[in-house]
Chains A and B, each alone.
Chain A
Amino acid sequence: MALFRRLTNLFRQPAIDRDIADELQSHIDLRIESNLASGMSPEQARRDALLRFGNPTSTRERVAAFDASLALAGLWRDVRYAARQLRKSPGFTLTVIATLAIGIGVNVAIFSSMDAVVLRPLAVPALDHVMVLAQEQQRGKQPVTLADYTDIQRQNRSFEDLAVLQGADYTLSGAGDAAQINADLVSSSFFRVLGTQAFLGRVFDQSECQPGRNAVAVLNYGFWKRHFGANSRIIGQKIQLDQHEYTIIGVLPRTMQYPPAVDMLLPFAPTPAQLSNRSDHTYLVIGRVRNGVSLKSAQSEMQIISERLAKSYPATNQGWTVHVEPLLSEINGDLTPLYYKLIMGASMFVLLVVCANVANLQLARGVARRSEIAMRTALGATRTRIIRQLLTENILLALVGASLGIALAAIYLHLTLVFMPARVARYIPGWDNISVNGRALTFSVLLAVFSGIVAGLAPSVEALRLRLVDQLRAGSRQATGRSRLRSIFAVAQISLAVALVIGAALMAKGMSSMFHQADIYSPEKILTLHPDLPAKRYDTPEKQAEWYRAALDRLRSLPGASRVELATALPYTDSGWQLDLSIENRPTTPGKLQTVVRLAITPGYLDAFHIPILDGRNFTQSDSIHSLPVAIVSRRFADLYFGGANPIGHRIRLGDSKSHDPWLTIVGISQEANYSLWENDLPPAVYTSFAQQPLAGSTIAVLSNGDPMALASSARKALASIDAGVPIDPVQTYRNLIRDNLVGLMYAASMLALDAFIALLLSAIGIFAVMANLVGERTREIGVRLAMGASKQDVLRIIIRRASWLTGTGLVIGLALAFALARLVANLLRGVRPDDPVTFAAVALIIVLVALAASWFPARQASRVDPMQALRSE
C-alpha cells in the first residue's frame, strides 16, 4: 500500500513539491506570527524563525525523499544533473565511456561464451541433477555393462531415471547425400533424464525400444541443419542406415547437442544376450538424481550396490565399483573451465585497470569541480548527498559504457563463432548457443554498477576531505593527497599490466612452441586425409587392406605427390590412447600396469617422418597379412620393459588378457617420436605394420613438393574412383590439422593477449595523465627552478625520476603478480616455465619503455616552461 502510494506520488512530483514547500512555509509563518506576538521586531521574528527551522532546501529534499518511492525522483534529478555535468566536458565523457565500454565489453564477451560453453552447455532443466555413471576398477573408469545397468536401475533409490547410450556408426543413404554418420542408440528414458522434448516432431518411447519396432530416428539439430538444410518437412521421411529403412520422427532442439558429436539418436533395442552380459563394458549410463539426493549419497548408494553385485557375480564384478560424476563436469573436462577461469580472471583485471583509469580521470576533473562541490556544500547539501551525486554520475557513465560494451561483445562473439572451424565446434557442446543473452545483460549491468562505484569511490573520498572554507577562498593551491592517490592508481595500473602482459607472453610463447613442434616434419607441405571405411562393407582385414593398398597406389601416382604414407596418427595429433601390454613368458605383476601407445604404419612412414631405426629392421613390403606379425618398439619401450636389454626377437601382445590380437615379434627399435600435443612425457610406443593389421581411424599423409592443397581435389577424385562411399574428410594440411587441435588454446591465448594489450595501453594513458598532471601542478616550481638557473636537463631529470619511481614500483609489484600467474599458465601448457627470465626481462623492458615514452611528453613540456610566464600567472 505504502509502496503503491509512493509510486503514484512519483507521477505527481511537481504537485507534491509545491505541497511540501507550502507546508514548510506555513510552519515558518506560524513561528513568525507567534514571535511577533511575543514582541519581537518583524526583522528579528523572521530571523529567529529561519534559524530555528534550519536549511529549508535540504529539509524539502529530505521530506520529498520519503514521498517518492525510495527517493526515485531524487535519483532521476541526480541523473539529469549528472548528464548535464557530463555534457559540459565531452572529451572527458567520451574517453571514460570508451574505456568503460572496452573493459565491460571484454568481460561480457568472455562471460557469454563461458556461460554457454562451461556453465550451461545444454539446455537441460536442473543440469546439476544429471549424472554420468561409470564402472571403475584399479585400471580406471570404464563404461557400464548392460546386466549391471539393469541391476542398478532396479535396485537404486537415488535416481529418478537412468538411461543407457551406445555409440554406433552407420552409412546413411536415401534422403540427401550418402554419408558416414555417428549415431547413438539410446533408451527411451534418455529424453526423460535430460528433460528434453523434440523441437520438431516427437521423440521415441519405450514401445519403440524393442527389436523389430525400432526403425525410427531422432536427428540432432546440427546434423539436421548440416545434412538436411533445416528442412522442416523431413519428419516422416525415410532414410537408409546401412541399407535398413528408418523413419525420421523428430529433431532435437539446438541447445541439446548431446552427446557432442552425435548426428542422430536411434532406439536402443537390446537382445537377451546383451542384457545378460556382465563383461562388455561399452554402455554409457546417465541418470537424473531425485530432488534432495546429493552426489555423495548417490555415490554411497552405488557403493553398496557394487558390493552386492561383486558378491553375487564375483567372476565379473570383483573389484569393480560404480563411479558417479555430474554430467556437466564430464562434458567440460578439466581444461576448458580452467582456461575460462584464466581469461575471465584476466578480463576482471582489465576491468580493474579501467576503473583505476576512470578514477584517475575523475580525480583530474575533480580539480575543476572543487568549487562546484564546495558551492553545493555551502548551499546545504550533505556529504551523503554529494557522494550520491558523484556515484550516480559514475554509474551513469558506466551504464552508457556497458551498452556500448555489449555491442562490442556481440561483434566479438560473432567473429569467434565465424572463425571456429566447424569440425572443432561440433565437439564443443554449447558452442553454437553463444550469444549475448539475458544473463550476460544482467552481468553487464552488475559490472557497470560495480565499476561505477569503484571508479567513483576515489573522487568521493576526495570530496569528503574537501575543506569548505579553503575551497571558497579563491586561488587555493592543490592538496597533496590527490596526487598521492593518483600515483597509487598509476602504480596499480602498471603492476596489473605487467602481470597480464607477462601471462599473455608466456601463453603465446607456449602456444607457438606447441604449434611449431611439428615444424621438423615441414607440416605445411603435407596433405592429410582421414579415410573412414564403413565397417559393415569392409568387414574383414583383407577387404580393408585391399582398399588401403589401392588408395596408396593411386595417391602415389598423382603428379606432385613425392611420398604417400599412412599411420593411425601423425606426430602431435594423437589423443594418447594407451593399450595394455603383455610380454611373452613374463607374468604381469598385479597392480603394476604395462601400457603402450600403438601406431599402425606403412613401411615408408618412419623414414618420411625422420624417425630413425636404431636397431633391427624396418617394416618391408613383404610384411603382409600372411606373414609373421611383427612390431617395432620405441627406445623408451626397450628401456622401460626390457631394462635396456635387447628386446628384438621377443614376442608381445596388445590389449588386455582376453585380447585376440596376435602375438607380435619385435624386429626393430626406433627413436622416440612424440605423438601427443599436450603431454611432455613420452609413453612407450609400439609400431605395427598397417598391411598386417589395418586399423580404423587412420591418417594418410601426402608429402608434396609444393602447395599440398593443390593436390586436394585430385586426391579426392583418385579415392572416389575406388569407392565413392568412403568419407575422407577433413582434407587439409598437416599444419592446419595441428592448428585445429590448438584452436581452444589459441582462443584463450588471443583473449589473454587482447586483455594484456588493453591493460598496457590503459596503463600508458594512466602514467601519462599522472605525469601531465604533475607537470601542471608544479609549473610554478619549475619556473622558479629555471629562473634560479636550473637547466632544461635538470627539469627533465626531475620529471623522469618521478616517472621512473612510479614505473619501478609498479614493475616490482607486477613481477610478483606475474610470477603467480606464470605458474598457473605453466600448469596449462607444455613448454612454459614459470621462471622464464627472457620473457620476464623482455616484458619488463617493454613496460619501462612504454612508461617512459608516456611520461616523455609531459617532461618535455616541463622543460619548455617559460619562467617569466610561470611566475606571472600566479
Chain B
Amino acid sequence: MAKNDLQGTLDLLVLKTLDQNGALHGYGIVLHIQSASNDLLRVEEGSLYPALHRMEQSGWISAEWSLTETNRRAKYYKLTPQGRRQLEAAQESFDQLVRGVRAVLRYA
C-alpha cells in the first residue's frame, strides 16, 4: 500500500486513541495502540512524533506539558473539536477503503 495511506492510518489510530482516552502522552499512545490491537499493530516510536506535531499544527489536537502518574514531565495531547470532525472524516474514508478492498478481494 502507498506510503500516504499508511500515514493516514497512523493519523486515524492516533485520533481514535485520543478520542477514547482523553489526554495522553506519546508513549501512552504507543502503548494503547499496541494493546488495543492485541499486539498486532506496533508503531515505530520515533515516527509517531512527526505525526503528532503535524496534527497539532493542523489544529486537530492540542498539547500541554503535565506530570505523569510517576511524577515525570510529559507532553499530553488531546483532541480538539476540529480533530473530532477530522476523525469522523478519516473513519469514513477508511471504512470506504476497507469496503473497497474487500469487494475487490471477493471477486478477484
Residues of B within 8 A of A33 (CB): 70, 72
* In-complex Cβ contact of A23 among B26, B44, B45, B58 (8 A): B26
A174 to chain B, nearest CB (A): 73
Smallest CB separation, B61 vs chain A (Å): 12
Provide the residues of chain B in CB contact with A63, threshold 8 Å: 49-50, 53
Distance, CA A1 to CA B59, complexed state (A): 9
Question: By the criterion CB–CB under 8 Å, are B53 and A66 in contact?
Answer: yes
**Closest partner residue, chain B, to A59 (CB atom):** B46
Residue A864 at the chain B interface, CB threshold 8 Å: no
B74 close to A (CB within 8 Å): yes
A2-B59 in contact given A26-B72, A54-B45 (Cβ < 8 Å):
yes
Decide if B21 is an interface residue (CB 8 Å cutoff): no
| Minimum Cβ distance to chain A for residue B79 (Å) | 16
Q: Mark A64-88, 1 if CB is under 8 A from B, else 0.
A: 0111000000000000000000000
- Asked if B47 is at the interface (CB within 8 A of a chain A CB), the reply is yes
Give A587 to B44 CA distance when docked, in angstroms.
98
B68 within 8 A of A: yes
A24 at the interface (CB under 8 A from B): yes
Hey, which chain B residues are within 8 Å of A2, CB to CB?
Answer: 57-59
- Shortest C-beta distance, B14 to chain A (Å), equals 14
Interface residues as binary, B43-73 with A (CB distance below 8 Å gives 1, 0 otherwise): 0111101100110111100000000101011
Bound CA span A6–B54, Å: 11
B-facing residues in A18-38 (Cβ within 8 Å) = 20, 22-24, 26-27, 29-31, 33
Number of A-B contacts (CB under 8 A): 65
Is the pair A54, B44 in contact by a Cβ cutoff of 8 Å? yes
Which B residues are in CB contact (< 8 Å) with A66? 50, 53-54, 56-57
Determine whether the beta carbon of B53 is less than 8 Å from that of A31.
no
CB-CB < 8 A to B73: which residues of A? 22, 26
A6, A24, A30, A54: the one within 8 Å of B57 (CB):
A6
- Interface size class, chain B: 20 to 34
Which residues of the other chain, B, contact A27 by a CB distance below 8 angstroms? 25-27, 45, 49, 74
Given A6-B57, A31-B27, A66-B54, A55 and B46 contact (CB-CB distance below 8 Å): yes
Q: Does B75 interact with chain A (Cβ within 8 Å)?
A: yes
Report the separation of the CA atoms of residues A26 and B70 in the bound assembly, to the nearest whole angstrom.
12
Cβ < 8 Å to A, chain B residues 7-30: 25-27
Chain A residues lying within 8 Å of B45, measured Cβ to Cβ, are: 27, 31, 52-54
Contacting residues, chain A, for B50 (C-beta < 8 A): 59, 62-63, 65-66
> What is the bound-complex CA distance between A6 and B57, given in angstroms?
7
A56 to B68 alpha-carbon distance, docked (Å): 22
| A218-B28 Cα distance, complex, nearest whole Å | 81
The residue of chain B having its C-beta at the shortest distance from the C-beta of A61 within the complex is B50
Which B residues lie within 8 Å of A30 (CB)?
A: 25, 27, 68, 72, 74
Residues of B within 8 A of A385 (CB): none
Minimum distance in angstroms from B11 CB to a CB of chain A: 13
Report how far A715 CA is from B57 CA in the complex, Å.
83
A1 partner residues in chain B, CB cutoff 8 A: 59
The verdict on A797 contacting chain B, using a C-beta distance below 8 Å, is no
Chain A residue numbers with a CB within 8 Å of B44 are 52, 54
Residues of B within 8 A of A (CB): 25-27, 44-47, 49-50, 53-54, 56-59, 68, 70, 72-75
Q: When A and B form their complex, which 5 residue pairs have the shortest distance between CB atoms, in order from nearest?
A: A54-B46, A59-B46, A30-B27, A66-B53, A62-B50
Residue contacts A-B, CB under 8 angstroms, 21 given: A2-B59, A5-B57, A20-B53, A22-B75, A23-B49, A23-B75, A26-B25, A26-B74, A26-B75, A27-B45, A30-B25, A30-B27, A30-B72, A30-B74, A53-B45, A53-B46, A54-B44, A54-B46, A63-B50, A66-B53, A66-B54
Given contacts A22-B75, A54-B46, A65-B50, 11 further A-B contacts (CB under 8 A): A2-B58, A23-B49, A23-B75, A26-B75, A30-B25, A30-B74, A31-B27, A31-B45, A52-B45, A54-B44, A59-B46
